[in-house]
Amino acid sequence: MEQRLEDYLSFVISWLPNWLLAMIVLVAAVLVGSLIHRFVFRILTRIVAQRDLFWRSLVSRTEQPMRLAIVAWVMVPAIGIAPLSDQQTGLLRHGLLLCFILLIGWMARTTLHIWTTVYLRRFKLDAEDNLLARKHVTQSRILERVAATLIIGFTLSFALMTFPAVRQYGVSLMASAGVAGIVLGLALQPVLKNLFAGIQLAITQPIRIDDALLVEGEWGKVEEITSTYVVVKLWDWRRMILPLGYFIENPFQNWTREGAALIGTVMIYLDYTVPVSVLRHKVEEIAGKSKLWDRQVVNVAVTDFKQNVMEIRILVSAPDAGKAFDLRCEVREKLVDFIQREYPHALPQVRASGTIVEEARAAGVVATADGRTMQQ
């Protein structure tokens, strides 16, 4: 009975064409690899069920590349069994080698992203004092993009080196060096400049995510830092795009470099007759009733004397740049309302002696609303 079965299988195999038999072997290898992956994935899922978030996410996110890797691993012996020509076997093995290289790069990139995401979960950008969070988020995001660029570069390099023609060309190019190296360096100068600028920004951190900046005469917050440019969300929701190298080579103002709290300045020009002590008491009252004031700084000082008015500087502090701006507006509005009601004569005005005014009226010269004079 067994002999007849063997003879029957031998007859069927000899009758089937080679290409069909090869397809059957390869499809069977794919099915076996899928079954092995399902078994291995279930075991790994149970093992990491009690582990931390990183390992659970890693197993979950790498399910597809793991399946492809196991299938490719099973197909290696299947190619040797299948009735293929030497050329077909070489092409398939080369394809599997490329598949392994790309899968390693894919899994490395996924692992890097998962680790960065899990690490940054402990920091909250929406916290009241988010200086530490902004520092770690900025550093991690920049280094992640730089590392991802390196992973992609190395993956493509190893993949290209599997082709003999490209490998020989690369060796000859490296041997020739000289002009080829200079041309390549000039061509890659912008890319390398931004790459090293990104590393320098991640280490020194002159800017961070959510930093308040005054750059190119515009105020806004750092919304995104990529491997080549920085996106600044301006106060009116426009986006300013600047290369990474800009923040290394050009001066700019960072309003949240060491902390989010800021001191806002309000300048007002009043007549010499206004009582400064009453004004100081009113400013302290306005700040005390405001929800925007952080209870740190409030100050009123006469900083200069002009020809017709005196310059009064008011300082009030707030937890961040946005609240400082709103607090300055609130102080201006309420202070002007107070002066208009209580000391209207203290508002800036042009003085003239009685004799000059009487002579001007006698001559028929009157002043218009915009300060010009006209003949009656």
pLDDT tens string 60-98: 887 888 888 888 888 878 777 777 777 777 788 888 888
Q: Is residue 371 part of a domain?
A: no
Mean pLDDT of the chain: 77
Q: Pick from 195, 213, 240: which residue ends a domain?
A: 195
Contacts for 97 with CB less than 8 Å, ≥ 6 apart:
162
Contacts for 102 with CB less than 8 Å, ≥ 6 apart:
155, 159
Q: How far apart are CA 34 and CA 40, in angstroms?
A: 10
Length of the chain: 376
Say yes or no: 136 and 230 in one domain: no
Say yes or no: 227 and 333 in one domain: no
Q: How far apart are CA 233 and CA 231, in angstroms?
A: 6
Q: Alpha carbon 261 to chain centroid distance?
A: 22
Name the percent of the chain lying above pLDDT 90: 20
Residue 308 in tokens: 């017709």
Say yes or no: 218 and 274 in one domain: no
Q: Is residue 80 part of a domain?
A: yes
Q: What is the CATH number of the domain that holds 215?
A: 2.30.30.60
Say yes or no: 104 and 217 in one domain: no
Say yes or no: 269 and 284 in one domain: yes
pLDDT tens string 196-219: 777 777 777 888 888 889 999 898
Q: Is the pLDDT of residue 315 over 80?
A: yes
Say yes or no: 190 and 317 in one domain: no
Q: Is residue 374 part of a domain?
A: no
pLDDT classification of 350: cutoffs 50, 70, 90: low
pLDDT tens string 136-164: 777 788 788 778 888 887 888 778 777 77
Q: Pick from 195, 215, 235: which residue ends a domain?
A: 195
Say yes or no: 246 and 131 in one domain: no
pLDDT tens string 6-31: 554 454 445 445 666 677 777 787 78
Q: Is residue 365 part of a domain?
A: no
Say yes or no: 183 and 218 in one domain: no
Q: What is the CATH number of the domain that holds 320?
A: 3.30.70.100
Say yes or no: 20 and 159 in one domain: yes
Domain that holds residue 281: 262-346
Say yes or no: 25 and 110 in one domain: yes
Say yes or no: 76 and 151 in one domain: yes
304 DSSP β-pair partners: 311
Residue 317 neighbours by CB distance under 10 Å:
20
Is 243 exposed, middle or buried, given 0-12, 13-18 or 19+ CB atoms closer than 10 A?
Answer: middle
pLDDT at residue 268, rounded to an integer: 93
| DSSP secondary structure, 278-332, as one string | HHHHHHHHHHHH-SS--SS-EEEEEEEE-SS-EEEEEEEEESSHHHHHHHHHHHH
Residue 295 in tokens: 């209870």
pLDDT classification of 374: cutoffs 50, 70, 90: very low
pLDDT tens string 259-299: 778 888 999 999 988 999 999 999 999 999 999 999 999 99
Say yes or no: 100 and 116 in one domain: yes
Q: Is the pLDDT of residue 34 over 90?
A: no
313 DSSP β-pair partners: 267, 301
User: Looking at the 3D structure of the chain, how many domains does it have?
Assistant: 3
Q: Pick from 166, 195, 224: which residue ends a domain?
A: 195
